[in-house]
Amino acid sequence: MKKSIFTLSSLLIAGALFSQTLSAQSLTGYDIIKKANEVPEAKTASSTATLTIHSKKGNDRIREVIMKSKDYGDVSKEVIVFTTPKDVSGTGYLMFEYEEDSNGNKKDSDNWLYMPAMKKTRRIASSGSESEGSFMGTDFTYQDMNDRAISKYDYKLLGEESVDGTECYKVECISKAHTEKDPRYISYIGKADFILRKCEFYDRQDTLHRILTCSDFTTIKGYTTATKMKMENVQTGTWSTIESKNIVYDANDIDDSLFTVAALEKGRIR
């Protein structure tokens, strides 16, 4: 299972170093996105992260989360649970992402949000207005958390540009449906490793809406990993960061039962 590079988990936990010798002239925008999507990933991953939500008034809210994921081949499962502060502790989000087949067909993801204060779990749609809503008050959306299927976009290589000293392909991605809140985005993909460095999202008026920046890269077990992400809403002046730590790849102790609604509701994920 190779997730889209635009999902939250695979931005935090990027793929292994994947050098290529092909020149920019030999690659199309689609080729670059496809290669980025095919970068090898760990079969399992776990980490903790600090989530900072910065308001336009300059106030910061700090959240701590646990993240775990496991690749089953035809489906990849991931769970995110908030541990602090007390008012959000135990809130969890469970995602099932399905493999896109050779014909470009892909089953919609399954997503559940558990709110302990309400003692209720609800399904979150993988498309439409609900998916474009804010994830837990951040500048990330539910759609950012899920897979963006390659077949649902048209691609164009706009050129090359450096991002924080890394030479990148600059690829325009336009939704074929044109119904999304941000139907166009520009991805900056590292030329040497095909890992996302930055993404600019444009709204339906084709005005810059949000900017995602991936930074503080490190290598763990051969996997190049962005340990910090920042999503800035340039229209509101707000931003959110996710800084990951305690990252462990390919461990054998992640139990399958953790990726269930029951595990969320019983508070088993720690």
Q: How many CB atoms lie within 10 A of CB 87?
A: 9
The amino acid occupying position 201 is F
Q: In terms of DSSP H, where are the helices of 6-69?
A: 8-12, 29-37
Tokens of 209: 């809406």
Report the 10 Å Cβ neighbour count for 246: 10
Question: What are the respective helix, strand and coil percentages of the chain, to the nearest 5?
Answer: 15, 45, 40
What is the residue-level pLDDT of the chain in tens, covering all 270 positions?
Answer: 344 434 555 555 444 444 444 444 589 999 999 999 899 999 999 999 999 999 999 999 999 999 999 999 999 999 999 999 999 999 999 999 998 777 667 788 999 999 998 989 999 887 667 778 899 999 999 888 877 788 889 999 999 999 999 999 999 999 998 888 999 999 999 999 999 999 999 999 999 999 999 999 999 999 999 999 999 999 999 999 999 999 999 999 899 999 999 999 998 887
